[in-house]
């Protein structure tokens, strides 16, 4: 087992992770990307980076619009899967988003589906923002899609059960002052014994992100509260979608 601080390494590389989260809502993801592109209006030759791209579903949608897209992710199995879609406008690399990827390379960088806030130290979170800032060209755009901590706390469901393709996911949720936690117990007849993973996601507010982005040389331009790009409302918005620009 991985140490607690690295829970994401094993869980994100598990096929059960993708079954639980990603083999659904494809229409929602596609609609969100199209809506976002309509708002951003990227020039046709724009270069884009999808940070923590997983199996590349968002990157593929972006590339289908004719942009040059690169996806990076820590999970080898996810990148191996994504590389089957490689083409002249789309490529993928195994990469830890805390490490510098390139300098002044991209016009747009995206971080979708709460793919941030995993790390135990604030220093590591700041390293991610630094990587993004360095990789952006001057006046490049960074889009960060995170959960709204106030909304999640108010509506936290302590226990739930999902059954997907005959596999049972028993989920327990709780929170403390700094993080949200989700324990996922997986029961599958193909397993000798149940598997268990515990997610830990930082409770970051809009103010916290403003501080991090400012330290990284980025300035917030717009904030939305859902995938329809409605205005952010601290009590009623399920998402915190921040559009920032490299100074």
Tell me the pairing of strands 167-175 and 179-187: antiparallel
List 3's β-bridge partners, or say none.
none
- CATH 3.40.50.150 occupies which residues in the chain? 4-149+204-246
Q: Per residue in 99-133, pLDDT tens?
A: 999 999 999 999 999 999 999 899 999 999 999 99
What number does CATH give the domain 4-149+204-246?
Answer: 3.40.50.150
Q: What stretch of H or E contains 8? A: helix 7-12
Structural contact between residues 106 and 72, judged by C-beta atoms closer than 8 angstroms: no
Query: Has residue 3 got a pLDDT over 60?
Result: no
Burial class (CB in 10 A: 0-12, 13-18, 19+), 206: middle
Rounded Cα–Cα distance for residues 18 and 14 (Å): 7
For 158-207, write each residue's pLDDT tens digit: 999 999 999 999 999 999 999 999 999 999 999 999 999 999 999 999 99
One DSSP character per residue, 54-94 reads TTSHHHHHHHHTT-EEEEEES-HHHHHHHGGG-BTTEEEEE
Cα(145)–Cα(243) distance, integer angstroms: 9
Q: How far is CA 137 from the centre of its chain?
A: 21
Strand segments, DSSP code E, in the chain are: 47-51, 68-73, 90-94, 106-111, 136-147, 159-164, 167-175, 179-187, 195-202, 218-224, 239-246
Q: pTM, whole model, 2 decimals?
A: 0.93
Please determine, for residue 1, whether its predicted confidence score (pLDDT) is greater than 70.
no
């Amino acid at each position: 087992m991985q140490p607690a601080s690295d829970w994401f390494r094993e869980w994100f590389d598990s096929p059960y992770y993708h079954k639980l989260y990603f083999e659904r809502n494809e229409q929602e993801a596609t609609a969100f990307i199209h809506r976002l592109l309509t708002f951003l209006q990227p020039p046709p030759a724009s270069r884009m980076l999808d940070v923590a791209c997983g199996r590349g579903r968002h990157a593929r949608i972006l590339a289908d619009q004719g942009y040059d897209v690169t996806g990076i992710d820590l999970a080898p199995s996810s990148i191996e899967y994504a590389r089957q879609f490689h083409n002249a406008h789309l490529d993928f690399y195994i990469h830890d988003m805390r490490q510098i990827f390139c300098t002044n390379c991209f016009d747009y960088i995206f971080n979708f589906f709460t793919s941030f806030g995993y790390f135990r130290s604030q220093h590591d979170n700041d390293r991610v923002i630094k990587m993004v800032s360095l990789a952006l060209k001057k006046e490049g755009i960074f889009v960060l899609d995170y959960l709204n901590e106030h909304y999640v706390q108010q509506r936290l469901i302590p226990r739930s059960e999902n059954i997907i393709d005959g596999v049972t996911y028993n989920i327990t949720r709780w929170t403390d002052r700094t993080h949200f936690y989700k324990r996922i117990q997986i029961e599958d007849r193909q397993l000798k014994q149940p598997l268990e993973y515990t997610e830990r996601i930082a409770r970051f507010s809009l103010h916290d992100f403003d501080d991090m982005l400012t330290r990284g040389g980025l300035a917030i331009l717009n904030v939305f509260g859902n995938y329809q790009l409605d205005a952010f409302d601290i009590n009623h918005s399920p998402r915190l979608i921040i559009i920032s620009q490299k100074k």
